[in-house]
Structure 1
Amino acid sequence: MNIRAIAEDEASRISAIIEDLKHLEGPMLPILHEIQATFGFVPESAKQIIATALNLSRAEVHGVITFYHDFRDHPSGRHVLKLCRAEACQSMGGEPLAETLLSRLGIDWHGTTADGAITVEPVFCLGLCAQAPAAMLDGELHARLDEHCLTDIVAEARR
């Protein structure tokens, strides 16, 4: 398949998602979530297609995508590890724990390991403040983390 055909297929799939969901009240977030579920991220090309379909500017769509941390502009790793950055987790050692993990993995926030296994993202509260520090791997919560627990979580994700 050539590049033009890929772009046309992507645009067609994005348009179909929009058509299915634009009848909803406040359709942009459901559309963005479905596009991300389909592609693993929100392609740059989607911004103008969404804007045109919803009678918005491309800047408005871009603003929504960049405001919400859950939307990505590039593919993530096979597993997404979200580390809580809220005050309770920071006060219980979450910040040095995160710095150690990122250093060991050789990435920064929103980065993906070289083997494509893990993307690490910040999140600002997982609701486990009494069990801080906390993380979420592929939707599964982990609490009372220490370096050993986090090492085990990463090792499991890499298998």
Structure 2
Amino acid sequence: MAGYEPWSANRASEIIASHRHLDGATMPILHAVQETFGFVPDPVVPMIAESLNLSRAEVYGVVTFYHDFRREPPGRHVIKLCAAEACQSMGSDTLTAYAEERLGVAMGETSPDGRVTLEPIYCLGLCACAPAGMIDGRLVGRLDESCIDELVAESNR
């Protein structure tokens, strides 16, 4: 996984300590953990709970409620396709089916070779440029099948 650190309980403790003073620290900690490791590893849940005097269930509930948090490492490339109403009205459902077929991975999954993760996202604010998506953190509007074909070629490199 390019750009992410390998899991380390010590590093996670540093992240927790640097954010625990914030109001509503759970979300900032979880975002920082995911930015660092690429996902929210299971062992960090009790660490966060203990630090913030929360139950493990409360922290786990936040991780599983929000679609943006991953519980498994992502692929080398992360493709997020908007599933909100404006993008649906412009064909995002058809585009998603095409992407799943071409990439060989279902929405919400990572390819077995770790090459690509395909995820839904709910509104990127690019409604006028629908359908929209995010490719490796880069916003892209007016997606079509040729864009997906380019992504397939890029992910194979």
TM-score by length of 1: 0.88
How many residues align structurally?
Answer: 151
The structure that is helix-richer by fraction is 1
| Identity between Structure 1 and Structure 2 (%) | 57
C-alpha displacement of 1:158 = 3.1
Gaps of 5+ in 1: 1-8
C-alpha displacement of 1:150 = 1.6
Q: Which moved more, 1:113-122 or 1:80-89?
A: 113-122
Cα distance in structure 2, aligned partners of 1:124 and 1:37 = 19
Partner of 1:12: 10
Rg comparison, structure with higher value: 1
Partner of 1:73: 71
Partner of 1:113: 111
Q: Which moved more, 1:31-40 or 1:47-56?
A: 31-40
TM-score by length of 2: 0.89
Q: Structure 1 residue runs of 4+, over 4 Å off?
A: none
Q: Which moved more, 1:110-119 or 1:26-35?
A: 110-119
Task: Quote the RMSD (CA, aligned, Å).
Answer: 1.5
Partner of 1:45: 43
C-alpha displacement of 1:53 = 0.8
Preserved contact between residue 129 and residue 141 of structure 2 (Cα < 8 Å): yes
Partner of 2:58: 60
Preserved contact between residue 102 and residue 109 of structure 1 (Cα < 8 Å): yes
C-alpha displacement of 1:121 = 0.4
